[in-house]
């Protein structure tokens, strides 16, 4: 292609990377890399429990090598041959993949016409063999959140044999006040697991760290799927230090909120449709030239964005929020592509 520079806005990574405190902690931990992991895992669980409040303790938390690994562990713990899971068709594909891996049947429920989770339809889909319902909030690839009242109505219909997984990998970017409070269900003792990730706001996607929060019995089932020395001390040190750098986290939240507002309005101004997002990406819908074609055309000009066919949205193209300069250059490239398909 003869490009001098390629900008990746395809995997919802942080545009600014990790906190310098996290990078320093990882470097310091490297000097001990000849040792097997020690107490770092328990210490991180303790610190997370303190941050989350609600009377949660380290025993309510399980750490994995990214949210993806945590989703694998949850499926390994609860899915079996003959069991099924329920999810929105336009959502993160890992729910289906993890269900398939452990012999379950993934049941994908159509979203509402405005591409939200159709929670009443998802509740209708639950039967005696249902093990897990996956709710992704903010949802990848739509950026929608599940509002409090909708979650409440849904939870009232969920039978006791079902585990509800709230995947909140993008929760730090939410600015809408009506965001469903999933941890309240954990505190109430419901069969709810809340998944979070250090890959997004903490900028540690390459180190791989995520965690799940649930009542102790559920957390213990998940813990049984961990391998010995599951997560490296370098990873744990970086994740732990990132929690301490609250100024950095506030700045990245603000930068992402500004960047996504800019992208949303600038892309709409080009005459394209985009979904309002509460995450660190914006999804363009129904580009006139087609989603795959749009992604290919911007790639020719040095920008990697992702067509969302694999995420159940064949007419969508997801653009991760970049730095201010990257966002502005991307909009210029998009204008050129739309003008000269």
Ligand X SMILES: Cc1ncc(COP(=O)(O)O)c(C=O)c1O
Interface residues toward ligand X, by CB under 6 A: 12, 66-68, 92, 136, 140, 167, 169, 197, 199, 205, 210
Q: Smallest distance, Å, CB 236 to ligand X?
A: 14
Q: Smallest distance, Å, CB 179 to ligand X?
A: 15
Residue of closest CB approach to ligand X: 66
Q: Are β-strands 306-307 and 273-275 bridged in parallel, bridged antiparallel, or unpaired?
A: unpaired
Q: Which residues touch 185 (CB under 8 Å, ≥6 apart)?
A: 155, 164, 192
Of the pair 198, 221, the CB lying nearest ligand X is at 198
Which DSSP category does 312 fall into?
T
Residue 6 and residue 302: Cα distance in Å, rounded? 5
Q: Smallest distance, Å, CB 11 to ligand X?
A: 7
Q: Which helix (H) or strand (E) holds 273?
A: strand 273-275
Q: Smallest distance, Å, CB 95 to ligand X?
A: 9
Of the pair 92, 173, the CB lying nearest ligand X is at 92
What pairs with residue 120 in β-bridges? none
Q: Smallest distance, Å, CB 18 to ligand X?
A: 13
Q: φ and ψ at 183, to 5 degrees?
A: -65, -25
Of the pair 166, 248, the CB lying nearest ligand X is at 166
Of the pair 131, 208, the CB lying nearest ligand X is at 208
Q: What is the DSSP string of 183-209?
A: HHHHHTT-SEEEEEESSSTT--TTT--
Q: Smallest distance, Å, CB 87 to ligand X?
A: 11
Residues in the chain: 341
Q: Smallest distance, Å, CB 271 to ligand X?
A: 28
Of the pair 158, 209, the CB lying nearest ligand X is at 209
Judge whether 277 and 138 are in contact, CB under 8 Å. Answer: yes
Of the pair 205, 267, the CB lying nearest ligand X is at 205
- Tell me whether residue 220 is exposed, middle or buried, using C-beta atoms within 10 angstroms of its C-beta: 0 to 12, 13 to 18, 19 or more: middle
Residue 47 and residue 111: Cα distance in Å, rounded? 37
Of the pair 276, 290, the CB lying nearest ligand X is at 276
Q: HSE (CB half, 13 Å, CA atoms) of 287?
A: 27
Q: φ and ψ at 31, to 5 degrees?
A: -65, -20
């Amino acid at each position: 292609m003869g490009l001098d520079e390629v900008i990746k806005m395809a995997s919802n990574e942080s545009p600014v990377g990790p906190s310098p405190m996290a990078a320093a902690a990882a470097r310091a931990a490297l000097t001990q890399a000849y040792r097997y992991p020690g107490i770092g895992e328990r210490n991180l669980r303790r610190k997370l429990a303190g941050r989350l409040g609600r009377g949660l303790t380290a025993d309510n938390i399980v750490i994995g090598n990214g949210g993806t690994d945590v989703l694998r562990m949850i499926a390994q713990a609860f899915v079996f041959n003959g069991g099924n899971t329920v999810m929105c068709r336009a959502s993160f594909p890992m729910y289906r993949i993890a269900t398939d891996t452990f012999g379950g049947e993934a049941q994908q429920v159509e979203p509402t016409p405005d591409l939200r989770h159709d929670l009443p339809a998802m509740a209708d889909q639950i039967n005696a063999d249902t093990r897990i319902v996956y709710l992704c909030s903010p949802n990848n690839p739509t950026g929608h959140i599940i509002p409090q009242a909708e979650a409440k109505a849904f939870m009232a219909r969920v039978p006791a044999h079902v585990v509800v997984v709230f995947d909140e990998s993008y929760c730090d970017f939410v600015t809408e006040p009506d965001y469903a409070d999933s941890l309240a269900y954990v505190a109430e003792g419901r069969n709810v697991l809340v998944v979070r990730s250090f890959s997004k706001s903490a900028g540690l996607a390459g180190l791989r760290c995520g965690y799940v929060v649930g009542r102790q019995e559920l957390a213990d089932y998940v813990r049984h799927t961990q391998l010995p020395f599951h997560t490296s001390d370098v990873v744990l040190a970086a994740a732990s230090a990132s929690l301490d750098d609250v100024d950095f986290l506030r700045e990245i939240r603000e930068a992402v909120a500004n960047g996504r507002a800019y992208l949303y309005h600038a892309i709409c101004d080009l005459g394209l449709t985009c979904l309002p997002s509460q995450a660190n990406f914006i999804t363009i819908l129904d580009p006139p030239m087609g989603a795959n074609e749009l992604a290919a055309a911007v790639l020719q000009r040095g920008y990697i964005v992702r067509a969302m066919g694999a995420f159940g949205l064949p007419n969508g193209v997801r653009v991760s929020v970049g730095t201010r300069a990257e966002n502005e250059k991307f909009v210029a490239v998009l204008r050129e592509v739309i003008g000269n398909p």
